[in-house]
Structure 1
Amino acid sequence: MTDETDPEATLEQWKEEMRAEHEDAIRNPDPDEDHRIEGVAQVNYRCYYEYDADADELERARTEQVDELADPELLSCACGVRGMTPDEARAHVAAARDRP
Structure 2
Amino acid sequence: MTDDTDPGSNLKQWKETMQAEHEEAIHSPDPDEDHRIEGVSQVSYRVSFEYDPDSGSLERADREQVDELADPELLSCVCGVRGMTPEEATAHVEAVRE
TM-score normalised by L of structure 2:
0.95
SS of the equivalent of 2:10 reads: helix
Cα RMSD of the aligned pairs, angstroms, is 0.9
State the one-letter code of the partner of 1:35. H
Question: 1:3 Cα deviation (Å)?
Answer: 2.5
The runs of 4+ residues in structure 1 deviating greater than 6 Å are none
Structure 1: runs of 5 or more not aligned: none
In structure 2, the gaps of 5 or more residues are none
Q: Deviations over 1:40-74 (max 9, x none)?
A: 11111111001112322111101100000000000
Q: How many residues align?
A: 98
Counterpart CA distance in 1 for 2:41 and 2:8 is 34
* TM-score with structure 1 setting the length: 0.93
Could you tell me the percent identity over the aligned residues? 72
Distance, in Å, in 2 between the alignment partners of 1:46 and 1:59 is 14
